[in-house]
Amino acid sequence: MRPDTGTGALLEALITSPAPAPVVREIGRVAEVADGVAIVSGLARALADEVLEFASGVQGVVFDLEPDRLGVVLLGPSERVAPGEDVRRTGRVIGVPVGAELLGRVVDALGRPRDGQGALGAQTRRPIEADAPPIRARRAVSRPLATGLKAIDAAVPVGLGQRELIIGDRQTGKTSIAVDAILNQRDTQVACVYCAIGQRGDAVAKVIGAIGDGGMMDRSVIVVAGDEDAPGLAYVAPYAAMTVAEAFAAEGRDVLIVFDDLTRHAHAYRELSLLLRRPPGREAFPGDIFYVHARLLERAGQFAEGHGSITALPVVETQAENLSAYIPTNLISITDGQIYLSPRLVRRNQFPAVDLGVSASRVGGKAQARAFREVAGNLRVTLSQFEELEDFARFGTRLDEATRQRLARGAAVRSALRQPERDPIPAGEQLGVLLAAMEGVFDGMDEARAAAAMQAVRSALGQEDHGLAERIAAGEALEADLREQVIASARAAVRGGGDDADA
């Protein structure tokens, strides 16, 4: 029985067609598995940072290249990986999806959705490792980034493209300052990236809820590597978040990125390095721990025309106010300044607990509005003198009238810097409250009355348009007549508020 014509033609084509070229596939074997890492043999051609696929479905990244073995950081649960199982190369380095599709989403360190809203739909991927832009591709920091916090915008200003460290002991409000800075971008075009590294799930959920309630979720990307995730994901997360930010900056957008926090990132890197038997150094950290953070933060900056900026707010935790510990000193030397949150001020109920004596902004002053700059110098001097006198007055010595007035003025200025969380204040209202405090409008008031008086001043300045916001935005100086108008409005608001309170 002869085959039909269609089948015959198919057989003829198969017989006459050239044989397919052989496909070479390298298959390795797992030699050892530890908590978060694996030792793989048999993949002599693997590349650094290449993604490997294990037979169990777990992915890993090549970390150490040695002649007869690979040190691989696992990006999934190590319990699923067994010695002897197959490992295959993928031929691609580790990367993440980037683009506008990520805005409003919560993703993990590999760009996989964590918010239950389905696939991202992003097609563009970028490697998470990239060279920092060269000097010629950068510009000086010259534009301010308003955080909405009086203590920071007036005394420790941050500019677009700056790297400003947020440092302090646990429970001093570091995350709260970063979240408030994100919420204050509601009326700007700044895109925000929040990277949670090794945080508890409930803490991350609280941050996501605050950003959503503040109306900034649609312009934010949340990158999460929780404390329950593999340490490899905690190590990868900040580089992935920076890659997402770089894609926005390449489109000409300004980006604010928060790394919360790099202490946990350093601990994850130390854990992986020790498991892979890298030689330990100071505090058991590997010798390249400085480079790990430097190559990340150097990718931030104000870039040339056609590109935007990346403003980085890395967070680091100290122990017992020890600023000279290894990781904090490394990050202080890498960044352009630090916002130090003091437990001493927390115990005095001073929030945000920014210690202006230790905090500094090495480049933000160039970007600060001129009107703020005129107030900031007197603010620091007044507070430093007040703290010296306050310590002296505790000895119970008799004080003259001038000293008592300086103590009252300092207490009022410190009280004026208090601010509840999730309440960023517009620049004009900030300046009005600080001017009023420096001129003695709040002298002698207790905490509750001072808070009510400041709220009255804010309301009055919001209703009476003195042109403060326009002058601040234009970088103009604060003229004497305008200054007097603002102080007069503040005094009138406080008198009216005081009458209402007494009634």
Q: Which residues are catalytic?
A: 362
Half-sphere CA count of 19, side-chain side, radius 13 A: 3
Q: How far apart are CA 396 and CA 309, in angstroms?
A: 53
Question: Measured between alpha carbons, how far is residue 174 from residues 165, 178, 197, 345 in Å?
Answer: 10, 7, 14, 13
**Measured distance CA(282)–CA(114) in Å, rounded:** 36
Q: How far apart are CA 203 and CA 425, in angstroms?
A: 24
Q: What is the CA radius of gyration of the chain?
A: 28
- Whether the upstream peptide bond of residue 261 has omega within 30° of 0, thus cis, is yes
| Residue 213, token pair as written in the block | 């309630």
CA distances from 104 to 133, 213, 216, 256, 258 (A): 27, 13, 8, 15, 16
Contact 256, 242 (CB under 8 A): no
Exposure string of 208-221, with b = 16+ CB inside 10 Å and e = fewer, is bebbeebebbebbb
> Could you say which DSSP state residue 335 is in?
S
Distance in angstroms (rounded) separating the CA atoms of residues 175 and 187? 21
Among 245, 36, 53, residue whose Cα is nearest residue 130:
245
CA distance 31 to 52: 15
The continuous run of DSSP H or E covering 37 comes out as: strand 37-41
Quote the CA–CA distance of 428 and 106 in Å, as a whole number.
34
